[in-house]
Amino acid sequence: MQLIHVSDSHLGIFTKEYNKTDPLTGMRIRTEDFTKSFLYVMEFAVKEHVDAVLMCGDIFDRIDPVNKVRKDVLDSLMKVTQSGVKVVIIGGNHDTARLPGSASPIQLLEHIRGVHVFHKPTTEPLTLNEKNGPEGVDIYPFPYLPPGRWFDYAKTKSELRVAEGELTYSERNELICGAISRTLRDTGNIARSRGHRKSILMMHYMIEGSDMGHSLDLVNDIVIQKNMIPFSDFTYVACGHVHKYQRIQLPGKNGMAFFSGSTERTSFNEFDEEKGFILVNTDGNRDFRTEFISVPTRTMRLVEVKCTGMKNHTKDEKDPLQDLLKALGQIKSRGEDKEAIIRILVRNATAELKAKVNLNQDALENLLRDSFHWDIDYDLKKEDIHPSMKAGEVFLKPSQELERYVVAMNKIGENEKKRIIKLGTKILECILEKTGEQQ
Ligand SMILES: [Mn+2]
């Protein structure tokens, strides 16, 4: 039997920094990138005649995706299921409603024949059978639930007497983790009671020890401790939530949990991560064979430029702005800028270079005009990070600051510069005279 394990397609995502729209359709290009990656996986499923696609949470980036995204997902799931491929969907933190009475966008998909949606935990397995063969596998869905809703599962008769507000943060946390742990154990017990059937646990949670990549937004999350997963009761543990593809060793000989990772990069933090899904082959006795299949995505490129300091530079010293422009020119000549998201990271930068770049935005813009988006980040020299620490050195007198600023300007002639400095200094003198300060 062949299965696809995929997660975190984050359809409908909208990021402020990459907000270009397609002039023909009016649609946001970056949002469409995510749809394209998702459709690539769906087309693969149809082409390779897999038996099922397991979607481990966060298909949608938000609880209220736009209609275009809903339609794209509905259309593609219709196509996939009509070709005989089953689809199992669990909720993630992005596409699960916070309020118990509200609805999640994945619930719209459960009306498609061949699609199974789980937006709350259940110990009841779903049996999937091979399209053209005798094999079958039990699926145990363990979707994401907001912490507040886990609290309801935690309530026992004695706990009910304690109002939620009377609990401390750690008491509340303990109850939630206890509820998750208990539900996972019950699920494992059911799997074991069904004998030696092949079984898959699908979940959308971070696991202790998972590599979050450079992503920092998962810091305050519920973390499943490794010993909470009754891994020996499952043949395969399919996880979503963490965006970097990885396998996690669980205690014991064969214990292993897999994160397929996201299908596109949700932020620049993921720039160096390969994106894709896992093709799972259930043939064989106990262990499943897995293969990571990558999905085409938009290139994110980090361009690191090392600049020599400009402070007190003499005429013989190289101009760091020229270093930067030269590095970008090389990227361009290799065609690496085309349609890419580029971040320039200037190492060893000075506040002075930063000011110079700001004054030469159009030169950079012109060089990188074939890119999809570019921005610039500075790894400032230590003394330039906290100028107030060295007030005497870095914070010059107003007239000196003005002179330094004007001298660094590019498109102004020397005589003009002298005139600006002269006039500016006069203005500063007047101001300082009035406020009673010494120039
Ligand atoms: Mn998630």
Q: How far apart are CA 138 and CA 193, in angstroms?
A: 12
Residue 314 alpha carbon to ligand 1 centre in Å: 53
C-beta of residue 151 within 8 angstroms of C-beta of residue 179: yes
Between the CA of 288 and the centroid of ligand 1 the distance, in Å, is: 25
Q: Is the dihedral of CA 276, 282, 283, 284 positive or negative?
A: positive
Ligand 1 centroid–CA 72 distance in Å is 21
Ligand 1 mean position to 65 CA, how many Å?
15
Q: Has residue 67 got a pLDDT over 60?
A: yes
Q: How confident is the model at residue 319 (pLDDT cuts 50, 70, 90)?
A: confident
Residue 429 makes CB contacts below 8 A (sequence gap 6+) with 399, 439
What would the two tokens of residue 88 be?
A: 């199992």
Give the number of other Cβ atoms within 10 Å of residue 306's Cβ.
14
Instruction: Tell how far the Cα of 106 is from the centroid of ligand 1, in angstroms.
Output: 14
Q: Which of 90-94, 166-170, 230-234, 351-355 has the highest mean pLDDT?
A: 90-94
Q: What is the pLDDT of residue 109?
A: 97
Q: Tell me, in angstroms, the distance from the centre of ligand 1 to residue 116's CA.
A: 19
pLDDT for res 391: 40
Q: Among the listed ranges 35-39, 216-220, 362-366, 368-372, which one has the minimum average pLDDT value?
A: 216-220
Secondary structure E strands in 215-288:
223-224, 236-240, 246-249, 256-259, 276-281
Distance 183 CA to ligand 1 centre (A): 20
Tally of CB atoms within 10 A around 338: 12
* CA pair distance 326, 321, nearest whole angstrom: 9
DSSP letter at 356? H
Distance of CA 356 from the midpoint of ligand 1 (Å): 40
How far apart, in Å, are the Cα atoms of 27 and each of 103, 138, 212, 409? 26, 40, 31, 39
Tell me: pLDDT of 222 over 90: no
CA of 245 to the centre of ligand 1 (A): 13
Check pLDDT > 50 for residue 358.
Answer: yes
pLDDT of 189 higher than 90: yes
Cα–ligand 1 centroid distance for 292 (angstroms): 20
Give distance in angstroms: CA of 315 to centre of ligand 1: 54
Residue 222 Cα, ligand 1 centroid: separation in angstroms? 11
What size, in residues, is the chain?
Answer: 439
Residue 7 CA to ligand 1 center (angstroms) comes to 9
Q: Report d(CA 346, CA 331) in Å as an integer.
A: 15
Tell me whether strands 206-207 and 136-142 are parallel, antiparallel or unpaired.
unpaired
Residue that has been written with the tokens 């750690």 in this structure: 170
State the distance from the centre of ligand 1 to the C-alpha of 243, rounded, in angstroms.
8
pLDDT tens digits, one per residue of 48-65 = 999 999 999 999 999 999
CA–centroid distance, 58 to ligand 1, in Å, is 6
Centre of ligand 1 from the C-alpha of residue 260, in Å: 12
Share of the chain above pLDDT 90, in %: 54
State phi, psi for 181 to the nearest 5 degrees. -60, -45
Per-residue pLDDT, 434 = 75
State the distance from the centre of ligand 1 to the C-alpha of 84, rounded, in angstroms. 28
202 CA → ligand 1 middle, Å: 13
Average pLDDT across the chain, whole number:
86
| 106-140 per-position pLDDT tens digit | 999 999 999 999 998 888 899 999 888 888 999 99
Residue 439's pLDDT is 45
Cα–Cα distance between 154 and 148 in angstroms, integer? 10
Q: What is the distance between the alpha carbons of residues 272 and 302, in angstroms, rounded to a whole number? A: 9
Q: Is the sign of the CA dihedral 162, 166, 172, 174 positive or negative?
A: negative
Is 78 or 400 the better-scoring residue by pLDDT? 78
Contact residues for 268 (Cβ-Cβ < 8 A; gap 6+): 300, 341, 343
Residue closest to 32 by CA, chosen among 270, 372, 346: 372
Phi, psi of 362 (to 5 degrees): -70, -30
CB atoms < 10 A from the CB of 421, how many? 17
Distance between CA atoms of residues 266 and 16, nearest Å:
12
- How many whole angstroms from 210 Cα to the centroid of ligand 1? 13
Q: How far is the CA of 12 from the centre of ligand 1 (A)?
A: 14
The Cα 9–Cα 6 span in angstroms is 8
- DSSP for 129-178, please give it: E-TTSS-EEEEEEE----HHHHHHHH--HHHHTS-GGGS-HHHHHHHHHH
Q: How far is ligand 1, taken at its centre, from the CA of residue 177, in Å?
A: 18
- 3-class SS at 371? coil
- The amino acid occupying position 64 is D
Q: How many angstroms is it from 205 CA to the middle of ligand 1? A: 7
Under the banding of pLDDT at 50, 70 and 90, the label for residue 318 is: low
Please provide residue 100's backbone torsions phi and psi, each rounded to the nearest 5 degrees.
Answer: -60, -25
